[in-house]
Amino acid sequence: MADRITILGATGSIGQSTADVLRGHRERFSVAAVVGGRDAQALAAMAIDLRAEFAALSDSSKLPALREALAGTGIASGAGAAAVREAVDREADLVVGAISGVAGLAPTRDALKPGRKLALANKESLVSAGSAFMREAARQGTTILPMDSEHNALAQALTAGHPDDVDSLTLTASGGPFRTWTAEAMRDATPAHTAKHPTYSMGAKINVDSASLMNKGLELIEAHHLFGMSPERLEVVVHPQSIIHGLVHWRDGAVTAGMAHPDMRVPIAHCLGVDRRLATKVPRLDLAAIGGFTFEVPDSDRFPCLRLARQALAAGGALPTVLNGANEIAVEAFLAGRVGFMDIPRIVEAACDWAAGTSYAAPATVEEALALDGEARAVASRALDGAGGHPPAPERPAD
Ligand code: NAD
Ligand code: MG
């Protein structure tokens, strides 16, 4: 059981779900620090509720608002990179890494400390800096606990046998809000459409990634690093009910599935509990009420991002870092209304083509990954030009 917890990305979707789990176990946990981006009110409210010792925002311009919101509470606060570093350096048994995007890479890496556990939701850290990040975790003696639901389910299912007896791993995908849309309809998709995820409520970036299936592609790369599994032994199947999250196929033909309601409090509680199960408010799984499970092959013609991510995983080298950085630029531009939904794979592909023509190797350090990420962003930003924004699309049913 972890006792002292620090939450990076505390004000986001995963951060709030983490707080909800902690609220059910106040006697067991203390909160060393909470870190957010720019929402002083939300961070202060959480710090007060969880009786955190320290609260930090990455945006230094928000320090006065944070100080005011915490006045008289005795909770120490700071803002800017040094304050985030102070939060990460505070003694903690377990750090929840739930910042969105490559913005989380440096603070999550800084959270790797001897004897500590890192409950990792920020998959972009592993996609962008995979081997370097895993090496640093091993060097520091930090245990990584997968918090992404598929990887958490796989970690649980993997306890059913010997690691040498694993044949392959399957990650499930809900299929996202555009599972049944035509390619033509997807061209007019807007951020509002991507916000209607069928089974999860999440942050804006992962909503877009789930709609494009880039999320599943990023998760294949994440699984490769977390479980040391070669690309051809990693599969994806679409499972719209999102009850089975991951499957371990053993060499005798047996399959162990990790199942739960699609509620992030399940994998969060599994990580926070470490070696004990924590009670949550998640209802008991009622299979008869669900009625049936269905499965489909993902369509990489309509969802080219999945194909691009698979290619980046197979090619290795600089490709995953570039894929991830270019995707972040494309998603930001889509959310800002500057490009259409189907420009996302086009921009990512342009950056991957650029990378394939360079001699860049896989980043050996997190700093190298950040430098390459910066180059990929510049290439992707140039590819934005010429793309039209999305026209105001009529509201369409999500499924
Ligand atoms: P979100 O956008 O809701 O929250 C992101 C958090 O990061 C916020 O607290 C934000 O303030 C903070 N942040 C952003 N930039 C920062 C910076 N530079 N420094 C410090 N903090 C910063 O995102 P989310 O949905 O909670 O997802 C977080 C991560 O978890 C992502 O990597 C996502 O892929 C992963 N994840 C999310 C879910 C989910 O259900 N939401 C599931 C699996 C994995
Ligand atoms: Mg996931």
Using an 8 Å Cβ cutoff, are 122 and 98 in contact?
yes
In this prediction, residues 216-245 reach a mean pLDDT of 98
* pLDDT (0 to 100) of residue 399: 33
Of 147, 170, 201, the residue at which a domain comes to its end is 147
Q: Is any atom of ligand 1 closer than 6 Å to the C-beta of 37? A: yes
Q: Note whether residue 307 is domain-resident.
A: yes
Which residues, by Cβ under 5 Å, contact ligand 2, an ion? 148-150
Q: Note whether residue 391 is domain-resident.
A: no
Residues 101 and 160 in one domain: no
End-to-end alpha-carbon separation of the chain, Å?
40
64: domain CATH number? Answer: 3.40.50.720
Residues 203 and 275 in one domain: yes
Range of the domain at 230: 153-384
Ligand 1 binding pocket mutation candidate from 13, 84, 210 (most atoms within 8 A of CB): 13
Report how far residue 51's alpha carbon sits from residue 66's, in angstroms, rounded to the nearest whole number. 15
Q: How far, in Å, is the centroid of ligand 2 from the Cα of 222?
A: 10
Residues 142 and 161 in one domain: no
In this prediction, residues 268-291 reach a mean pLDDT of 96
Q: Note whether residue 390 is domain-resident.
A: no
pLDDT band at 196 (very low <50, low <70, confident <90, very high): confident
In this prediction, residues 371-389 reach a mean pLDDT of 88
Residues 87 and 231 in one domain: no
334: domain CATH number? Answer: 1.10.1740.10
Number of domains in the chain: 2
pTM, to two decimals: 0.96
Closest CA to 343 of 308, 387, 310, 302: 387
> Per the structure block, which two tokens stand in for 151?
């990887």
Tell me the torsion sign for CA atoms 64, 69, 75, 80: negative
Report how far residue 246's alpha carbon sits from residue 249's, in angstroms, rounded to the nearest whole number. 10
In this prediction, residues 369-394 reach a mean pLDDT of 80
Residues 246 and 380 in one domain: yes
Q: Which amino acid residue places its CA nearest to atom 40 of ligand 1?
A: 202
Closest CA to 262 of 250, 246, 275: 246
Q: Note whether residue 397 is domain-resident.
A: no
Q: Note whether residue 17 is domain-resident.
A: yes
Report how far residue 49's alpha carbon sits from residue 79's, in angstroms, rounded to the nearest whole number. 20
Q: How far, in Å, is the centroid of ligand 1 from the Cα of 36?
A: 9
Q: How far, in Å, is the centroid of ligand 2 from the Cα of 147?
A: 8
Residues 54 and 181 in one domain: no
**225-241: burial string, b at 16+ Cβ within 10 Å, e else:** bbbebebeebebbbbbb
Of 147, 165, 192, the residue at which a domain comes to its end is 147
Q: Note whether residue 28 is domain-resident.
A: yes
Q: What is the DSSP letter of 159?
A: G
Q: How far, in Å, is the centroid of ligand 2 from the Cα of 236?
A: 12
Residues 158 and 229 in one domain: yes
Using an 8 Å Cβ cutoff, are 214 and 300 in contact?
no
In this prediction, residues 272-296 reach a mean pLDDT of 96
Q: Helix, strand, or coil here: 35? A: strand
Q: Is any atom of ligand 1 closer than 6 Å to the C-beta of 327? A: no
Of 99, 132, 147, the residue at which a domain comes to its end is 147
Residues 120 and 240 in one domain: no
Residues 119 and 235 in one domain: no
Residue 188 has a CB neighbour count (10 Å cut-off) of 17
Residues 224 and 113 in one domain: no
Report how far residue 236's alpha carbon sits from residue 220's, in angstroms, rounded to the nearest whole number. 8
